[in-house]
Chain A
Amino acid sequence: MWYYKIHRNLNKKVKPIIWTRYHSIVADRQWQSVVGLEVHAQLNTESKLFSGAENTFGGLVNNCVSLFDAAIPGTLPVLNRKCVELGVKTALALSCRVNEVSTFDRKHYFYADLPAGYQITQQRAPLASDGVINFQVFTPGVHKKPYKKSSKIKQIQLEQDSGKSLHDDELKRSLVDLNRAGVPLIELVFEPDLEDGEEAAALVKELILIVQRLEACTGRMEEGALRVDANVSLRRIGQPLSTRTEIKNIGSIRGVAGAIRHEIDRQRSILESGGTILNETRSWDATNKVTVAMRDKEVVQDYRYMPEPNLPPLRVNLKTKNDTQDVISVPLIQDQIPELPEDTRKRLVQEFQLRPEAAIQLVNEPILLEYFLEISANKERNPTKVANLLLNDLLTALNQNKVNIDHCPVTSKQLIELSDLLLQKKINLDMCRQILDELVHNADEDISPSRLLKEKGWSMITDEAELTKLCIEVLENNPKLVKQYKEGKKKVYRALLGIVVKSSENKIDMAAVSKIMDDLLKK
């Protein structure tokens, strides 16, 4: 009896312990990562946001600076029309609601590269709000197949960029260049809808494609034209959002994926060992592939937002196509929006029957897409084969010759000729690859692939009789392999083909030879 009581009491105490432990072990595996992005994109305009100084990358130190950009007393801001147009265009492309009236605010903080002691931005009433970006997530090697994802956009606002400071640790000083001060930026604030670095990278890639198509921004992250800050936190499933850290200083799309992945791992290991996450700002160190805490941002900050008194409200015309100097017609801008990446992908799949992966990869590389559309304009050319030629073979040739896709020396004319040769079976894939290599290497747009063919003396054996003769020869010379094949070892078939290829110096079309070989072996 007492044994039973003790047992029962023990159970009462031990069971909860076991249960909680089990629960927490399970719960640890239930940390859900939450990622929200903030993107700053430099607008592609001639002059700056509020001054007439030149908006350019590089340039004599402190020369593309107007008196207003240097915060000389008594100077006033005047808004650049093109910035509003591009801002509205981007907002419309991202299905945002453009606000009829928006206002500007001052965000105050002291920093050497912020001469006025405040940045003019749109915090209270931004240019646009409540949009969404739809994109496909597909990283070859990480994902088996692409999947759709979307992220909501909280707001899009116009704001000034700051100058640049070069830190000289040795002489303990900073050198300040204000060329970048006042350059127009749009800030896109996304909701924390994403789960990991790959999704974030895909979002950024899609965004870059969109702004490039709109000609709103060059999208060159390496030049700082597009900058991404990532907010990362972990929470238990079903719980509200937890403390987040902000990661800055990410300089590339792969960097986005890497930084977020690292940060999620870092936070998970802290939480799993019972620690807490600090609400802080961290910097991505791309060389060592870690995030480090930023000292400057440790202090409590209050930006004391105040309406910018020197700029009356900005009004846009949401209803009609009537466009005046001071009031932009939004419907007119809507008409100017070109085909967006998602629509192109759809078109590639529907019109050209490409696989989704191919469509994604082509759209991701605008130069390849351009080639593809030109070559496939002639409906007789097989789109899938053309896509493969571009995505596999051209890229390989460029990589091997260490040439960047942006500087691809091969012209579309050459590619058209080459693909015709391939599709008409005048050359095989191997020959094609070799020609591509030559074209890339020589970088001469006048070289014709057909001429190369002639020069190198590469020509295909197309005569069926000759091919049959070749096959028969190979079969006669390799009775052992034939015997193995007839006994059931189908893998030997490849070896036989391989010998044919070798003996013909690879001047054959594999498909044709395969067929002949098949027929012969059946006998």
Chain B
Amino acid sequence: MNKLTTYTIKELHKIYRDKLLTPTSFVDLCLQKVKQTSELNAFVTVTEDEAENHGVESEKRFYIDKKSRMLDGITFGIKDNFCTSNITTTCASEMLKNFVPTYDATVYARLRAAGACLIGKCNLDEFAMGAGTVDSIFGPTRNPWGYDKSNDDWRISGGSSGGSAVAVSSGACVAAIGSDTGGSTRNPAALCGIVGLKPTYGLVSRYGLIPLVNSMDVPGILTRTVEDAATILNCIAGPDFLDSTTIKKEFDPVSITDDFDMTKIKIGIPKEYYCEGMSQEVIDTWRYVADLLENQKAVLKSVSLPHTSVSIAVYSILNQCEVASNMARYDGLEYGFRAEENYSTEELYASTRSQGFNDVVRCRIFAGNYFLLSRNYDKYFVKAQKLRRLISNDFKNIFNGDDHVNILLTPTTLSDAPLYKDFMSKHNRDQCAFQDYCTQPANMAGIPAISIPIRLSKNNLPLSVQLMGPFLSEEILLNVAKRIENIVKFPAVAL
């Protein structure tokens, strides 16, 4: 039995206080777990020295200062597209393979200020472009569920924050930070059977998060329990003057109560979320949770979000345009990979960028520039932004008005974790299109969403559902999620 997967933040702090374990010994256990599960390939860099130092600091605060911080002795992993000073930050790309930032991302700084201990930088799809964590120069990340060393039939972990999800799912970390642009935190959370929270856009600072789509990226939280997700959120959320796209209002920490009043909650079931190709098991799980919530005396009703089906195409346009723009800085002059060309700047740039980026990145840049050409700008980019407003208005309409609902219940992914070889038979864009269907619209509108594991499929793989709410409704989402969690009692992976 994997004891590590049973620890929550609250329990750990109690154990530390009761001296049944110390922070440093717990850090060691986690590091051991990383070694034992190294084939899962969840980590790009394991920060052993830092982890141990952080553990020592936490220990001092616990036992000598007798004043511990919110996350003292809590081990965590962070996706390798968050800048951490003096620790390589690669984005799983040749381009940044040797890039060592000289500053900390705000999310990382806040976690460290709360005493958390960094186990390592987690694997991802190159520059967060993908839905499987299979497009990394460090190799794919394997799903611990159904993993058998003896055969080659392993499952993908989902993506692009697959490494972070596996780190938490396998017990190597108590919590992990990912990023979510089209579902990149919720997707791997669903496939790995853990909780994945996507906060409201602007609630958590993006300073230090190497961007994919600036107008949709948010740092995501991956934990095994809803309560832990709430604790991490309370630590990292709040305005940041270094990021002009954070909401300036003071953050009101969320609180989870076991006696949350469900009678006041109206839950919408959007009919458009049943799409072609969705597995029957996923639909059944969706139904199961709907019934469960109704038994808890919540009010359920069917709603319509008419523009759901266009979200993926709109996302493809906006994603590629922003990528073309964000990647323009990688030229090898100030940092990153630099090709050997010396003839002209243009030749240097072209060689650096074609050698430093994988096909997925390069193709997105190429397509993005096509859509941004002055002759195409109105036809594609502005059109996509207009459709984005329609998608966002769909949500606004059902969350407001006389007939409004408080939250929405939908599936997270269309199936349980696919086999690696099946997943690889499709092109990156098609994979994303398929898997992101249910998660993408929340990024489009900037609203918060959480994925919670419910039960196992007949393949013994996790099946999850997703809750979405209006801007800044994390407290409701987390409380409803907690109620579901209490009832379903989803098991941890046996490693």
Contact = CB atoms under 8 A, between A and B. Distances in A.
Interface stretch (A10-18, A65-73, A206-214, A330-338): A65-73
A71 B213 CA distance: 16
B329 A74 contact: no
Interface stretch (B16-24, B168-176, B236-244): B236-244
B210 A117 contact: no
B363 interface: no
A79 interface: yes
A76 B244 contact: yes
Interface size class of B (residues with CB under 8 A): 35 or more
A304 B210 CA distance: 22
Contacts of A255: none
A303 B375 CA distance: 11
Given A75-B207, A79-B244, A309 B214 contact: yes
B329 A117 contact: yes
Contacts of A303: 374
A78 B242 contact: yes
Contact of A110 (B244, B248, B328, B334): B328
A320 interface: no
A144 interface: no
B398 interface: no
B374 A110 contact: no
B96 interface: yes
Nearest to B348: A112
B201 to A, nearest CB: 11
Contact of B210 (A74, A79, A106): A74
Given A79-B244, A115-B333, A73 B210 contact: yes
Nearest to A310: B214
Interface in A61-119: 67, 70-79, 106, 108, 110-112, 115-118
Interface in B203-228: 206-211, 213-215
B357 interface: no
A174 B333 CA distance: 11
Contacts of A466: none
A116 B372 CA distance: 17
B244 A310 contact: yes
A207 B289 CA distance: 69
Contacts of B210: 73-74
A67 B102 contact: yes
A309 to B, nearest CB: 4
Contact of B206 (A76, A78, A79): A76
Contact of A312 (B83, B244, B324): B244
A73 B377 contact: no
A190 B140 CA distance: 56
A78 B244 contact: yes
B105 A74 contact: yes
A48 to B, nearest CB: 15
A73 B345 contact: no
Interface in A271-316: 302-306, 309-312
Given A67-B102, A306-B372, A172 B342 contact: yes
A310 B210 CA distance: 13
A110 B369 CA distance: 13
A117 B365 CA distance: 13
A70 B99 CA distance: 14
B333 A176 contact: yes
A71 B331 CA distance: 11
B244 A73 contact: no
A106 B325 contact: yes
B304 interface: no
B215 A304 contact: no
A115 B321 CA distance: 19
Contact of A309 (B322, B330, B369, B372): B322
A108 B374 contact: no
Contacts of B83: 73-74
A20 B346 CA distance: 51
B260 interface: no
Nearest to B373: A302
A76 B328 contact: no
Nearest to B248: A326
A77 B244 contact: yes
B381 to A, nearest CB: 7
Contacts of B99: 73
Given A110-B328, A112-B333, A74 B244 contact: no
Contacts of B213: 309
Contacts of B208: 74-75
A110 B372 contact: no
A310 B245 contact: yes
Contacts of A305: 372, 374, 377
Nearest to A165: B345
B325 A306 contact: yes
A310 B345 CA distance: 28
B322 to A, nearest CB: 7
A194 B324 CA distance: 40
B329 A304 contact: no
B251 interface: no
Nearest to A172: B342
Interface centre among A108, A110, A309 (most CB of B within 10 A): A309
B101 interface: yes
B349 interface: yes
**Closest 7 A/B residue pairs (Cβ):** A117-B328, A304-B372, A309-B214, A309-B215, A73-B210, A71-B329, A74-B208
5 contacts: A73-B96, A73-B210, A108-B328, A115-B333, A310-B245
Interface of B: 82-83, 91, 96, 99, 101-103, 105, 206-211, 213-215, 241-245, 248, 321-322, 324-325, 327-331, 333-335, 342, 345-346, 349, 369, 372-374, 377, 381
Given A73-B99, A304-B373, 9 more contacts: A72-B103, A108-B372, A110-B346, A110-B349, A115-B333, A117-B329, A172-B342, A304-B377, A309-B322
